Amino acid sequence: MAEESLNANEVVLAEEIGHVSVITLNRPRQLNVISSRVVELVAKYLEKWEKDDDTKLVIFKGAGRAFSAGGDLKMFYAGRKDDFCLEVVYRMYWLCYHIHTYQKTMVALVHGIVMGGGAAMTVPLKFSVVTENTVFSMPEASVGLHSDCSFSYILPRLPGYLGEYLTLTNARLSGKDMVAVGLATHFVPSEKLKELENRLLSLNSADENTVSNVIEEFSIDVLPEEETILNKLQTINKCFCKESLEEIIESFEAEGWNNGNEWIWPVLKVLKRASPTGLKITLRSIREGRNQTLPECLKKEFRLTMNLLRSVVSEDVYEGIRAFSIDKDNAPKVLSYIYHLH
């Protein structure tokens, strides 16, 4: 297979090296956020390589210090007056389903930030490699959106009620945490990541055992750090199993008064400044996702996303994007935020 020419200014770089194809998200200054052009190109290359008998393995990675910080919220804000979002969202959900059901072996090299829709390009893969610099989070609910791109299917399948906690509080997981809960498959020290990539590029096999053996040459067994939230899962389960958002917050606040639970107060602060609309929709979506198939979750998420972006439910999402991503004053002025804060 000939190596594909690269345009260094393109938002997605595609390389064909031997029998391995490589996608590099290439917006490093913007933390590789996912724009309409990114979705278009990633979908095009994946579809092309899935049909190409010469392609045995596909590698995903991001340029710079992030894999991807998720969807391009500024893009949605700029298109809020029309239905620009419709095609972008539709393409993204098709891409999510395609990634989950892809017929070729795929490996994600996740070095740095991976959030929201960016994580939708790594978590479903057969092999997802993280490092000590990897940071995972789901920030959508805080700005009035919801955990989408298949995460209403993924999060409920984490241990206990960790999924609810992660998506409602925008909590972060390290690479070690991700491996521990099944959001990644291998931990490789960052100084070994390039060497691992070179070994993968030399492969002439789609055999999953062969790929796994190569990754395991570089991976190490790790345990979560002592201060990880995974060590607080008993308290998280006790509070985040509650039926309603109000009951969760009330229970969580009560736990905060117990000795050793000082960690709860900063988390509560994040919860109380988030969009109640986003939190309530996200909670219900995650709860429904426990008993839904992947296609059912994606269909539900698509409808939710479109109605939120069309402001059918509320204006929270655009005020949240303005406050937290554009002006960065962290002071949303939508009524539902103000009501929640007081």
Q: Quote the pLDDT of residue 272.
A: 87
Residue 140 among the catalytic residues: yes
Q: Quote the pLDDT of residue 293.
A: 98
Element housing 108 (H / E): strand 105-110
Residue 71 among the catalytic residues: yes
Q: Which residue has the tokens 């991700």?
A: 178
From CA 180, how far away is CA 11, in angstroms rounded? 32
Look up residue 326 and give its DSSP letter: I
Q: Which of 16, 72, 148, 197 is catalytic?
A: 148
Q: Quote the pLDDT of residue 85.
A: 78
Q: Assign a CATH topology to domain 1-341.
A: 2-enoyl-CoA Hydratase; Chain A, domain 1 (3.90.226)
Q: pTM for this structure?
A: 0.94
Residues in Cβ contact with 12 at an 8 Å cutoff, skipping those fewer than 6 apart: 23, 24, 25, 26, 37, 38, 41, 42, 45
Q: Measure CA 279 to chain center.
A: 17
Q: Which of 71, 112, 144, 289 is catalytic?
A: 71
Q: Which of 16, 72, 140, 301 is catalytic?
A: 140
Give me the residues of the chain with pLDDT under 70, please.
Answer: 1-6, 334-342
Q: Quick check: 162 and 195 in contact, CB under 8 A?
A: no
From CA 278, how far away is CA 253, in angstroms rounded? 20
User: And the tokens for 232?
Assistant: 């607080």
Q: Quick check: 76 and 36 in contact, CB under 8 A?
A: no
Amino acid at 303: R
Q: Measure CA 197 to chain center.
A: 22
HSE-up (13 A, CA, CB side) for residue 318: 17
Q: Quote the pLDDT of residue 332.
A: 84
Q: Quote the pLDDT of residue 5.
A: 45
Q: Quick check: 6 and 15 in contact, CB under 8 A?
A: yes
From CA 176, how far away is CA 162, in angstroms rounded? 15
Amino acid at 278: G
Q: Quote the pLDDT of residue 4.
A: 53
Q: Which of 70, 112, 116, 117 is catalytic?
A: 117
- Angle at which helix 162-169 crosses helix 264-273, to 10 degrees, equals 60
Q: Which residue has the tokens 């891409």?
A: 95
User: And the tokens for 107?
Assistant: 């490996």
Pairing of strands 173-174, 135-137: antiparallel
Pairing of strands 127-130, 105-110: parallel
Q: Quote the pLDDT of residue 337.
A: 58
From CA 16, how far away is CA 7, in angstroms rounded? 14
Residue 148 among the catalytic residues: yes
Q: Quote the pLDDT of residue 83.
A: 77
Burial 156-193 (b: 16+ CB within 10 A, else e): bebeebbbbbbbbbbbbbbbbbbbbbebbbbbbeeebb
Pairing of strands 57-62, 20-25: parallel
Q: Quote the pLDDT of residue 161.
A: 98
User: And the tokens for 82?
Assistant: 């029309």
SS3 294: helix
